[in-house]
Structures are given as structure tokens and as C-alpha cells.
Structure 1
Amino acid sequence: MGTMDVLFWQLVQRLSRGGYRIVRMSEQADEVWLESNHWRRPTLIRLVRADFDWSRSLRLDMEYTWQFVQQMRGWNFSKAGRVINVYVMVYPPVDDWEFLVAEPLPLSGVSDGVLHTLLLHSGNMGDVLPRLAEMTGVALRFEPPVETSDPFAAAERLKREVVREWRRRREEERRIFEYGKPMFTRLFIVVQVAMFLVLEWSGGSTNPDVLIHYGAKFNPLIEAGEWWRLLTPMFLHIGFLHLLTNTLALYYLGITVERLYGSLRFLFIYVTAGFFGALASFLFTPSLSAGASGAIFGLFGALLYFGTVYRHLFFRTMGMNVISLIIVNLLFGLLVPGIDNAGHIGGLVGGFLAAGVVHLPKHTALGRQAGALAVAALLVAAGLWIGFR
């Protein structure tokens, strides 16, 4: 290692602290990929510490990079507008190479996507570093190591710092997604399957009299004072297909949300969302209804709230999938008759507000929590007043 190795690791460190995250590092640690936190149009950077004697080697590596980028999936690259390929060298190739990096290469399949290549060597740092800083939006400069007599030690120290920080961030993200264990998710699945069997045994889960007897949402009885029917419908299902779809949705969404929020927060979110869904159905849908759909939509709401706290992480991992599923399900409810869309929307709102009240583990946001509680209380009070007046 030497002076250019110090520069290489200084670039990696400053970019990773300036809004970029390391997404890949080669085993030899001579190639590092970084991605910006901008979820709409992320920038992807490839930093390579390599020395090419001839421009042919540079051209072959550029071709490999272009092909690799075209094949990439899962790094948000489908939306990336720009890839910056940076070579850090002691000396440039001995033959002509400037024409290879003069113009960016277009990327197929990506709107306005281009691959820029910069060759940074000991003789052009004053020109290329400012250009790279402008392209990345990060202040980049070379600072000679304190250990002037031993640049190898300085480069190794920087490398250890970068790798340690990278591993720490990856561990923090892993812990965010694995905070809780899905205890109540499994419990609610057992309860709703058991209640379905009880309904079938008692005369059929599609029998209105049986559904009313066991607590389905039935407006005349709620108006008569049976307020618990705003809670019990989330455990009942009308027909096997209804049970199957909601159980699968609860399994996959519930596990994710309970791991993010922890079991007690999940319990509050799920029950609150179910209540909001039943209340909205009571206000806007006069027909008999039952099902966990409102509570399940509340889990979508909890994921949306997670996205307001960890915006970049949300859109990098699940964001667009969650939003797409919400839109598709709401449109399905609008287009297909017999679906209680009011209950779905009520559950979505209730889950979002409930998540705001309990917030996320190891986070404190008293202002947001108080605001979510106030809005939730206001909506419940208004809904009950309108429904029972």
C-alpha cells in the first residue's frame, strides 16, 4: 500500500459518511461499491484501486463494469440515474487512454442512465477530485497521512476503520428488522382459525345468524349498545377463502411488523387497527361484516409509519412493494362489489396512528407520539359521536 491507497480509503470513508452506503466490497478490498441514500434516483459509485499498464486492460475492465451494472438487480438500480466508475492509480496507462473516459456510456433499460468513468492518478488529483466531489455532492480532498514516513500503515488504519464502520451499520440494520419475535402473530392466526371452526360447527361461517351470534359487526346491535362488536369482528371470517387470504396476509405482514415493533407494540397496533376498521365500517357500511382485513391493513399502516422514521431503509428494502400492495388492494375494493373498503381504509389509518403512538423500539419522539394520540382520540370520539347520535 502507498499514497494512492490512502487516497482510495479516504474516498471510501468520506463517501460513506456523506450520504452513501457500502453495498459491496471485494475479498481483496480493492473494489468497493457505494449507493447514495436518495431513493428516487440513487447514484451508484464503484471505486477500484488498480494499476493498468496498458489501456487495453482499462477498456476490458470498463466493459466488465458496464455488463455487471446491466445485470444488477436489488440495489435500487432499476431507478438509478447514474453510475460513477472511479479508478485510483499511481500512474495512468502508458498508451492513449483519455478517449476511453471522455464520454459517459449509456445504460440500456434505465431512463437517462449513464456510466461515467474517472481515472484518478497521482498526476491529476487536482483536476479529478473536484469533479468527483461535484458529481457526488460530497466534499472530497486528499489529506496526506500523519504517518508521512509510512503511508502503508496509514492506508491499513483507514481500511480497518471503514470495514469496522461498514460492519457496524450492517449489524444495526439487521437488529432493526429482528427486534421482536412473532409471538402474537401466531396467536392471532390460531384464534381466527379456531373461531372459524367454531362458526362452521355452529351452523356455518356464511350463516348470518351464526355470525351475529358470535360477534360480527351488525349496526343495529351496535347502536343498541353492543359496543364490543367493534372489536370481535376481526377474529371472524366469512367462508374458507376469506379465512385463507387473511391468514396468509397476517402471517407474512404480521411477522414483519412484530419483528420491527416488538410484541407489545404489535398487539396494540393490531387491535387498534381492527377497532378503527370496524368503526369505519360501522359509519359507512350498513351491511353485516366480519374479518381481520381492517387489522391487516393496519399492519400496512404500521409499515408506512416505519417509512417515515427510516425513510431510506424503507424504500431500499420494502417501500415500493408496500405502497403498491396498498394501492392494488384499495383499487380492488373499489372495483369489486361486496368488499368493505371503508373498513380497510379505517384499519390503514388506525394502524398508522397506533404505530405513531407507540413509535419504534429504542426511539423517543414524544411530540410525534402525542400528536398521533391526539389525532387518534379525536377520530374515535368523532366516529362514536356520529355513529351513536
Structure 2
Amino acid sequence: MFEQIINNLIQSGWSIVTLESNWVCATHVSQQRGLLFGNFSELPQEFKPWIRNYANISQWDAVVFCPKGIDSSDLKQHRFPNVQLWYWDTQKGNLFPFPPTNDQRIPQWLRQLSSGEAVFLETNSQVGKHFVPFLTYTLLGINLIVFLLMTLAGGSTNQSVLIAFGAKVNTLIQAGQIWRFLTSAFIHIGIMHLVFNLYALWALGPLTEESFGHRRFLIIYILSALGGSIASFLFTTALSAGASGAIFGLLGALLYFSYKRPYLWKSGLGMNLIVVIFVNFGFGLLQPGIDNFAHLGGLLTGTITSMVLAKNNSKVT
């Protein structure tokens, strides 16, 4: 991997200099950017002696390879002025920036590089572009369109309309209409139900889609919707509908995502997600008519699905 990185840099016009302790410095004048590469075990006390001769370089990033993994306590042991550190846990494929940063240029480049693609940091037009969560927007649109059609058909609180559009009805599912497990996740009972769920999807969807990627986001969403519907089918006979199972699946996926990344967990994201989950479950226990079984089924399905996808994916994230 190290040799592949260096070869790609040379081919794309970067100047390579070998430093002490097997570290390598790469610079590119036109980008005014410098890159440092080396192992965690050979991390120097400071980078200043290595970079002070490059007055024309305005930004420095150091990719620190951690072949033995990295503990969260290691992240704050080293702080270098004017150098952004990227700890790369090559065992699990995780990338930990320190100090925390929203810069996605280096992570996206390394993600593509680790997948075996020939990527040039200078010419890759996708790197640094604003992420567009188009699947989240698509799901929002589908839910809105279905709600509008239900309203025109007689109202989203009309039981016959709900059944016609695919609500979860146990007797009909037992009769063979298993497609209701999925269709029930795209219909809502009343405007407040729709507003609450679409706001949650709008808040959680883009973050989940960017964290997991478009394809894995869709897998998590659909399987969580199915998991919520199946749990509701198994534990309650009431007619039910809504995207809550899928949304709780996104919560579970984000919870696992932040748990596996100590810098995110310590930022408060993980604890905030836990609070949101417990508050919603508590509200569901106190408020009649809320299908907590669907919530729990979606949460467990989303968490498990994200764990499976993480095991089958060795790319940098």
C-alpha cells in the first residue's frame, strides 16, 4: 500500500523526499500542499525541521500508518502546529483525524486508493466536491408523493385508504401479501405523523448516507424498514404504517458508526444518539398508538446491518 501511494504521487507530478526514520515527504507546488507519510512507531517529536524549508507550502497533512491498530488515548498524545494528522488503522481500515476536521479530501483519496483504483490526488475531480445525499432526497420525495396520493384518494387516516396503499395488516400478510412489510414504510397516518418522520429522515439521512455511502445507506434503510415491519407483525396485531422502523435503523447504524470511531464518540455524537433513542422509546411507551415494536425492530436491524457491512468493507472511512 505504501509503495502504491508513492508511485501514484510520483506519476501525478509530486516531488518525493525520503526523511529520517523511514518517513517520506511529498510536495506539489501548484497545489501548495505537502504530505508526510510514516509509521506510528516512528512518529517524530516534531515535524518542523522537516517542513521549515518549504515556505511555499501552505497546508501539511501527515498520514500515520498504524499496522497494530490504535487506541483512542493515542490520538491526543501528539500535536504538531500547522500539521493535520491522519491516523490510519490499517487493521480495520479506519481513519482518525487529529485534530478533528471536516476536510474530506485526504479521506476520500485514501478510500479510493485502498480499493485498488489508480487515483491521482491532483486530477481527481470528485475529491473535495460537496456531498449530495440524493437517496435521502429521493426517499423524502417518495413519502411526500405517496401521502399526497393518499390524501386525494380519501385521506391518510381513512382505514380503507391505508389498506389499499399497503399498510401492515397481519391477516392480509398471512394471506400472502408479504409486500406490505415494505410498502407500509412509505405511508403515514395523518400529517403530524408524516412531518415528524420526514423531519427525522431529513436530519439523519444525509449524515448516514455520507458516512456509509449511497449503496450501503439504501441497504440499511430498506432492511431496517423490513425489520421494523416484521417485528410489528410478530408482536402486535394492530394496523400500522410509517417510516419509523427505517429511521430507527439509521439511528442504530450511526450509533455503531460513532462507537467504532473514538474521536466521534468523544465529540458527543454517540451519547446524543443514545439520548434520542431513549427519549423516543419513552415517548412511545407514554403515547398510545405508537408502534414501539417497529421502532425496536428497525433499531436492531439497522445496527446489525451496519456491523455486517463494516465487516465486509475494508475501505478507509
| Counterpart-to-counterpart distance in 1, 2:101 and 2:160 | 52
Residue 319 in 1 paired to residue 270 in 2? yes
Structure 2 partner of 1:273: 224
Instruction: For residue 305 of structure 1, report the CA deviation from its aligned partner.
Output: 1.3
Change (3 A) 1:215 1:313: same
Deviations 1:259-291 (Å, cap 9, x if unpaired)?
111111100000000000000000011100000
Structure 2 partner of 1:335: 286
Deviations 1:8-36 (Å, cap 9, x if unpaired)?
xxxx9769xxxxxxxxxxxxxxxxxxxx9
> Residue type matched to 2:169 in 1?
F
Structure 2 partner of 1:200: 151
Deviations 1:86-116 (Å, cap 9, x if unpaired)?
xxxxxxxxxxxxxxxxxxxxxxxxxxxxxxx
Instruction: For residue 174 of structure 1, report the CA deviation from its aligned partner.
Output: 3.6
| Counterpart-to-counterpart distance in 2, 1:169 and 1:236 | 43
Aligned with residue 192 of structure 2, among 241, 260, 265: 241
| Counterpart-to-counterpart distance in 1, 2:148 and 2:133 | 23
Q: Is the 8 A contact 2:229 2:297 kept in 1?
A: yes
> Residue type matched to 1:261 in 2?
F
Structure 2 partner of 1:164: 83
TM-score normalised by the chain length of structure 1: 0.51
Instruction: For residue 172 of structure 1, report the CA deviation from its aligned partner.
Output: 6.9
Structure 2 partner of 1:52: none
Instruction: For residue 162 of structure 1, report the CA deviation from its aligned partner.
Output: 4.8
> Residue type matched to 1:226 in 2?
Q
| Counterpart-to-counterpart distance in 1, 2:297 and 2:206 | 22
Unaligned runs of 5+ in 1: 1-11, 16-35, 46-137, 139-157, 366-389
Q: Is the 8 A contact 2:259 2:270 kept in 1?
A: no
Deviations 1:118-148 (Å, cap 9, x if unpaired)?
xxxxxxxxxxxxxxxxxxxx7xxxxxxxxxx
TM-score normalised by the chain length of structure 2: 0.62
> Residue type matched to 2:264 in 1?
L
Provide the secondary structure at the position in 1 that maps to 2:82.
helix
Change (3 A) 1:360 1:254: farther
The count of residues paired between Structure 1 and Structure 2 equals: 218
> Residue type matched to 2:82 in 1?
V
1:364-375 counterparts in 2 under 5 A?
none
| Counterpart-to-counterpart distance in 1, 2:194 and 2:286 | 21
Change (3 A) 1:172 1:165: same
| Counterpart-to-counterpart distance in 2, 1:243 and 1:336 | 17
| Counterpart-to-counterpart distance in 2, 1:13 and 1:246 | 50
Change (3 A) 1:281 1:209: same
Provide the secondary structure at the position in 2 that maps to 1:204.
coil
Aligned with residue 298 of structure 1, among 228, 236, 249: 249
Deviations 1:319-378 (Å, cap 9, x if unpaired)?
11111000100111112111100000000001111112222897359xxxxxxxxxxxxx
Aligned with residue 299 of structure 2, among 323, 335, 348: 348
1:169-188 counterparts in 2 under 5 A?
169=98, 174-175=103-104, 181-188=132-139
Identity %: 41
Q: Is the 8 A contact 1:294 1:344 kept in 2?
A: yes
| Counterpart-to-counterpart distance in 1, 2:168 and 2:133 | 28
Provide the secondary structure at the position in 2 that maps to 1:359.
helix
| Counterpart-to-counterpart distance in 1, 2:238 and 2:188 | 15
Aligned with residue 175 of structure 2, among 200, 224, 245: 224
Instruction: For residue 216 of structure 1, report the CA deviation from its aligned partner.
Output: 0.5
Unaligned runs of 5+ in 2: 1-42, 47-70, 87-96, 109-127
Q: Is the 8 A contact 2:258 2:269 kept in 1?
A: no
Cα RMSD for the two superposed structures: 3.3
> Residue type matched to 1:196 in 2?
F
Structure 2 partner of 1:88: none
Q: Is the 8 A contact 1:180 1:260 kept in 2?
A: no
1:10-49 counterparts in 2 under 5 A?
37=72
Deviations 1:54-99 (Å, cap 9, x if unpaired)?
xxxxxxxxxxxxxxxxxxxxxxxxxxxxxxxxxxxxxxxxxxxxxx
Q: Is the 8 A contact 2:186 2:243 kept in 1?
A: yes
